[in-house]
Every structure is written in structure tokens, then in C-alpha cells.
Amino acid sequence: MQFSSSTARRTPPSIATLVLLSGLSALSMNLFLPSLPNMALYFDTDYKVMQLSIALYLLVNAILQILIGPIADKAGRRPVLLWGLSLFLVATLGCIYAPNAEVFLAFRMFQAVIVVGMVLSRAAVRDLYDQDQAASMIGYVTMGMAVVPMIGPAIGGLLEESFGWKANFWLPFAVGALTLALTYTDFGETSAKSGKTLVQQFREYPELLKSPRFWGYSLSSAFSSGAFFAYLGGAPFIGTELFGLSAAEVGIYFGAPAVGYFAGNFVSGRYSVRFGVNRMVLWGSVLNALGVALSAVIFLAGFGTALSFFGFMTFVGVGNGMTIPNATSGALSVRPHLAATASGLSGAIMLGGGAGLSALAGVLLTKETGAMPLLWLMLTTALLAIAAITTVIRRERQLGL
């Protein structure tokens, strides 16, 4: 199979292809989370070592996004997607057949190449639509993607109990193969090549880095999603160790934010054009903080339960579903000719912070501390998201935009 421009199709990709490309990244991130305790037993290692499979995955995601954007602006979206999907399949097989925890973690980091799907599906949308319409379309794409984290952990828990943890990697392999085939046949190139060398393409980064509005949008997305990434790192421990839930039960409870995320993305798809990206980001950031604050108050009052902890995470999901598509569209629209570069850089900022927060959550939590360290961490990042988008709104008023 040749992945060169000579084989490129020119028809725009369908919504189903964009959803699969975005969703596969989410599936690979969270499907196996209910299996972490048993994977630690399988590899005869500590839970905290296996928990690194989340933080390291996010960290490599962040690094790759910095590289993917300029490469895709130079070479086009299609060939980068096809190569990324192919490498993902190889990495997934490596995870399945890893003989020890170290080899598993190495291939797990390699698996992060699937981030091409998230970066370039969003860049493709921005290639085709203006800012507010792009926010709406990204909302619909990520609304479809939200189905994956909604049902992923629940499916992962059931697969774990029925077939063992390796089933949670065979499923992404199968979905990845399907996505590769669909991308090859359906994803037409959406962007003209920049005509610049790769070095020249990377030199475009300062243009973005000097933009206060780009930073404001990127940080509002990063801090808002930071609450969710901290949840990713801490919730499996809280579910199993604090509340004594089984793997299947953790999988079911764990999907609570994704239910909200689905709803939030629907709101983005329906109302972003009407209200504009700034209002949607602000309202989403407030809802995010509200959900965490309510959960913290209940725990401080001594009434915290698994239902209250996971239930209030729905607000976090709604907030992220409103914030991320709109903040992403805002960041990509600051310099439209650098859409893929902006998508990669803003995503790197988001996932780089997420990697740190996920790892920090795993370190902070013990049976003695309960859920409060995680809730304080999540609340701090949620409040910082409100501050970031407020700065963007003030600057645009000053500039008369």
C-alpha cells in the first residue's frame, strides 16, 4: 500500500470517518483502565507502575502532537493519518505480547501515535469551515467520540472479567484495522501542502506562541480537561480501594463523565454558532468547576459515596464537552493557515498537563487520604480554566474583536 500523495483521494471525509479517528484515540486511552489492578498482578509489579501507562501515554501524546501538526501542514492530512494508524496496530500487538511491565510500558508509549486521529480530524474540520461553524462541527465529531469513553470502561471491565486484560487490547486492534481501511477509502485530502520545508514549518511555531489569544484558548482547554485527566489517574484507585468496586463496576461508574461529555458536545454542536465560542467555553468551565465543588462539599460533610463521587463527575463531562470543541476551534482560528500546527500545539499543551495531573493524582491518593486530594486537584485546575477564558474575553474587548 502506498501512502503517498499520488494515491490521495480528494473528497472530504465523512462524519463517520472523523468520529472513528477521534474515538480510537479515546478508546486506546481508557478501555483497559478497569484492568489495571489485575495487570499489576499479571506483570508482578506495583499498581503505581501500571498507572504510569496512563501518564506516559499522555506525555508521549503531547510530544507527538508538537511534531504531527507541522508534518501534516507540510505533507497533508491523509498520508500522516495512514502511517499513524499502521504504526498504532504494530504497537498494540506489542502491548498484547509484552513479556514484562517494562516492555508493555514501552509499547504503550508507542501506542500514543494514534493521536494523529484526534489532531488531524479536528484540523480537517477547520480546513473546511469557519471558526463558529468549525466549533459546531468539532462538537458533533467529539459528541460521537464521547460514546467511546462512555461505554469503553464498562466494556473493558466486562472483557477483563470474561477474557482477561489482553482482550482490552485486541478490541482496539480490530477497531484500528477497520479505521485504517475506512480512512484509506474515504479520507480525501482537505488541505493543500504548505510548500515549505519541515524546518520552515516548525519555524511557524513562534507565530502561535506569541499570540495571547492562542494561549488563552489553549490553557482554558488544558485546565478544563485537566480536571478529567486527574480523574483518569485517580478514579480507578478510588473505585477499587476506597469503595471496593469490582472491575466491571468501576467500568460502569467510570463512564459518568462521558455521559456528560456527550451532552456537552451536543450543546456545542447545537449552539456554538448561535452563542459564539467564548461564551460556550466560559459556561463550560463554570459547569466543570461546579461539579467538582459540589462533590468536594459532600465529602467534607462526611456523606461521600461512590454514587456521589462518580455522579458529580457528569458535570465535569458536560463542562468539557462545551469547553474543548469551542476552545479548540478558537485556538485553530487564531492563525487559520496553521490549523494542523495549532491543533497539535494546543493538544500538546492539554495532554502534557494531563500527563502530569494524572501521575500526580496517582501519587497523592492513599486509603488514608480518601478522595479529597483528587477533588482539590480537580477544583484548582477547573478554576484556572475560568481564569484563562476570562483573559481571552477581556483581550478581545480591548482589541474590539
Higher pLDDT among residues 66 and 314, named by residue: 314
| Spatial contact of 219 and 349, defined as CB atoms under 8 Å apart | yes
In whole angstroms, how far apart are CA 136 and each of 15, 25, 127, 131, 350? 13, 20, 14, 9, 20
Alpha helices per DSSP H over 76-130: 77-96, 101-111, 115-128
pLDDT surpassing 70 at residue 320:
yes
- Directed axis angle between helix 47-75 and helix 77-96, to 10°? 160
In whole angstroms, how far apart are CA 360 and each of 202, 234, 367, 378? 31, 9, 16, 11
CA–CA separation, 318 and 315 (whole Å) = 5
For the chain, the domains span: 12-399
The whole-number pLDDT of residue 283 equals 94
The whole-number pLDDT of residue 90 equals 94
The whole-number pLDDT of residue 183 equals 86
Mean pLDDT of 96-124: 86
CA–CA separation, 350 and 119 (whole Å) = 12
CA–CA separation, 190 and 10 (whole Å) = 7
Give the model confidence (pLDDT) of 15-58 as tens digits: 777 778 877 877 887 778 777 878 888 888 887 788 788 778 87
Mean pLDDT of 225-230: 83
CA–CA separation, 342 and 336 (whole Å) = 9
Give the model confidence (pLDDT) of 343-365 as tens digits: 777 777 776 777 677 777 777 77
CA–CA separation, 119 and 77 (whole Å) = 10
The whole-number pLDDT of residue 191 equals 67
Closest CA to 382 of 220, 232, 256: 220
Q: What is the dihedral of CA 172, 177, 182, 185, to 10 degrees?
A: 160
- Directed axis angle between helix 306-334 and helix 277-300, to 10°? 160
Count of CB atoms situated within 10 Å of the CB of 212: 12
pLDDT surpassing 60 at residue 131:
no
Residue 252 CB partners (closer than 8 Å, separation 6+): 153, 154, 157
Higher pLDDT among residues 388 and 144, named by residue: 388
Closest CA to 196 of 186, 187, 188, 205: 205
DSSP annotation of 34 reads G
3 state DSSP class of 8 = coil
Mean pLDDT of 176-195: 78
Amino acid at 379: L
> What's the CATH number for 12-399?
1.20.1250.20
pLDDT surpassing 50 at residue 5:
no
Confidence bin at 289 (pLDDT 50/70/90): very high
Mean pLDDT of 267-289: 87
Q: Does the pTM exceed 0.95?
A: no
Amino acid at 260: G
